[in-house]
Structure 1
C-alpha cells in the first residue's frame, strides 16, 4: 500500500484575524507547540488554520465576528502548503460585505471551500468538545459529519442539500402545501437522506476498524465501539438501499400529521445520534469519568487521523488545543509518540512550555508574545 503523502504548512500569514493585526508563522517542525498565557491568541491561530479546510472553522463563528475589532471589518488567512505536488498557495478570507468567505488556490478563486479538500485535510480537538458525549445529539451529529467530510469531500454539500430540502418540507407542512408538492419534496428528501445516512455508516464502519487496529498498539487511550442510533437507523438496519429509501418515504408520508403538529420533521437521518461505548468498561461514554471521556476522545481523533490519511492519501494537519495540560506524563509521552508515527503536522497549544519538554527531536516550541 502506498504511504500517504505528507502535507504541511510552510508559512502562515494572518491579517486582521481576531486579535492579530498581522502574524507570520514559519513552522520548522512536524510537531509545533504554541505556548503563551491565557488570552494571548493561541486558539486563534488554530482557528485560522482550520479555515484552510472546508466548513465554518473550529469555533463555527459568524465570519463577521472573526474580524479584528480595531480593523476594517475584513480578515484573511494565507498559507504556503507543501504537499505531493509541491508548494501550493492557499488563501481564504472575508471581505466584510459578503455572506460567505472567499477561497483562492494558487491565485485562482475557487467556487467553494470544498476545493481546499483536494490539497489539505484539517482535523481538530478543542476544549469545547469535552462535553461531546454528554451533550445534545446534534453536537455528535455535526461531529460525525465533520469526520465524514474529511474522507468524503462530497458529504458537506450532500448534508447542506438535505437540510434545505428538510426546511422546504417543514415550510410546506406549516403553510398547508398540497399533497403533490409534499410528494415531490419528500422524494427528493428521501434520496438525499439515504445518501447522508450511507456516508455516515461507511465512516463509522471504517473508523471502527482503525480504532480496533489502534487498540493493539498498547496506547493508554481507551477504545470505543461506535454505532448509529435513531428511529430511521433502527428500522433501516439490514435493508437494501432501495428498501431503505422506500422506508424513509413511507415514514415521511405517514408522519405528516404528526410533523405538522410538531412544527418539524420528527424522523429521518437528521435525528440520528452517534453512540459511543467505552469498551473496557462496557459503559456508554457519557457515563465515564471526565478524564476517561477526554482519553476516549483523544483515541478517537488519533484513529480518525489515521483513517483520513489512508483514505485521502494525504496526511492531515491536526490541531490539538490545550490537550497536553489534561494528560499525565505517561499519556503525554504516548500521545507525542503516536503523533510522530502518524507523520502528521500537528499544532498544539499550552500555557507552559514544560508540558512539551518531552517532544521528540525535530519538534518546535513557539512562544507567542502579547499583542
Structure 2
C-alpha cells in the first residue's frame, strides 16, 4: 500500500519534515548531500530490518538532536506505522502499528519495501553476505515470516558459538536444543529462499527482455541436509574455528547473464545495473501478484546511471505499478514522467518542486 503521509522527527538531517505523496511516482530532487537518501532510508525503516544503509540505530538520530528519532507514516487505508528510538535507549528500536506496540517483524505484514542504491551497483561482484541479505529482502517481501525464522536462527547460532567457546561449561543437552532450533529455522530459511528463486526465475522469464537483460538465479554454498546431525558432528571443528561453518548463513545468490551465459559479476558495470533493475522490477510485479499489494520501491539516483532509452523504458515499466520513490540531482531526468509528486530537498527542508 502506498504512503499518504511521512513524518520525520530528529532523523538524520531533519529536525522535522512532513511529506504527503501521491500513490504513484514520488520524485525527490536536490543537490548532492541535501538529504534525499535520508528520506528513502526513513521509508525503508517501515519494513523489518536495518534499512537501506544497514546503519546502527544510533547513527540515524540527528546529531544536534536529543538522541532519539522517529519515523511515522500513514498508509492508504488509514493504517498508521511508527518506528524509532528514545533518547534514553538509542539502540533499542520501537515499533507501533495503529498506536499499539508490536515487533519489528510485524511491519512486514503491513507493507513491503524494496530498494536500489548506487552502493548496490556492484552487488554481483561483491561479497556473498551482501547478496544473501539482498535475497532475504526479496524473500521477506513474499513471505513476511522469513524475518522471524532468520532472527531465531541467528540467535540460536550465536548462543551455540558462545557455548562452544567455553567447552567446560557447555551443557550437551542445551547444545542439542540450540542445534535443533537452528535446524528447524535454518531449513525454513533455505526452503523459503529456494521458493523465491524458483518463482522469481519464472517471473523474469516471462518479463520483456528487450529493455533489461534476463538473469538466471540459483542458490550456492550450502544445500539443505540433516543440519542438526551435521552441527552435532562438527562441534569440534566449529569450536576450533570460532564460528559455525555449515548452514544457510553460508548460502550465496548466484546470478547469470542469460544471453551472454556468464556470471553477472563478470558483466560490465552498466550490464550489472541493468540486470539488477530487471530482477527487482520482476520481483516487484511478483509481489504485487502474490500478496495483492504492490511493494513500495525506493530507487536512489537510478535515472542518472541509465541512458535515455533505458530510462524511458524504466519509467514506462513502473507506471501504474504502485508507489515509486526516486531521487536525482536534476529535475530534467524525470521530465518524461507524466503525473508525479515532486519535491525539492535542500538544507533539511522538503518543499514542492
Q: TM-score range by the shorter chain?
A: over 0.9
Contact kept? 1:64, 1:96, Cα under 8 Å? no
Contact kept? 1:140, 1:274, Cα under 8 Å? yes
2:42 & 2:177 partners in 1: Cα distance? 41
- TM-score, normalising length from structure 2? 0.94
Q: Which residue matches 1:228? A: 219
Structural mapping, 1:129-168, within 5 Å: 129-168=120-159
| Counterparts in 2 of 1:333 and 1:266: CA distance versus 1, 3 Å | same
Q: Which residue matches 1:16? A: 10
Give the secondary structure class of the aligned counterpart of 1:133: helix
Instruction: Report whether the alignment pairs 1:78 with 2:72.
Output: yes
2:73 & 2:163 partners in 1: Cα distance? 45
Give the secondary structure class of the aligned counterpart of 2:289: helix
Match among 193, 212, 236 for residue 200 of structure 1:
193
- TM-score, normalising length from structure 1? 0.89
Instruction: Report whether the alignment pairs 1:59 with 2:53.
Output: yes
The structural deviation recorded for 1:212 is 0.9
2:116 & 2:268 partners in 1: Cα distance? 18
Q: Which residue matches 1:351? A: 329
Q: Which residue matches 1:25? A: 19
The structural deviation recorded for 1:187 is 2.2
Instruction: Report whether the alignment pairs 1:107 with 2:99.
Output: yes
The structural deviation recorded for 1:29 is 5.4
Structural mapping, 1:1-371, within 5 Å: 7-28=1-22, 30-82=24-76, 86-98=77-89, 99-109=91-101, 111-176=102-167, 177-214=170-207, 217-230=208-221, 232-233=222-223, 236=224, 244=225, 247-341=226-320, 343-359=321-337, 361-371=338-348
Gaps of 5+ in 1: 1-6, 237-243
Q: Deviations over 1:37-87 (max 9, x none)?
A: 0000000010111112222111111111111111111111122210xxx22
| Counterparts in 2 of 1:350 and 1:250: CA distance versus 1, 3 Å | same
* Aligned-residue CA RMSD (Å): 1.5
2:107 & 2:151 partners in 1: Cα distance? 17
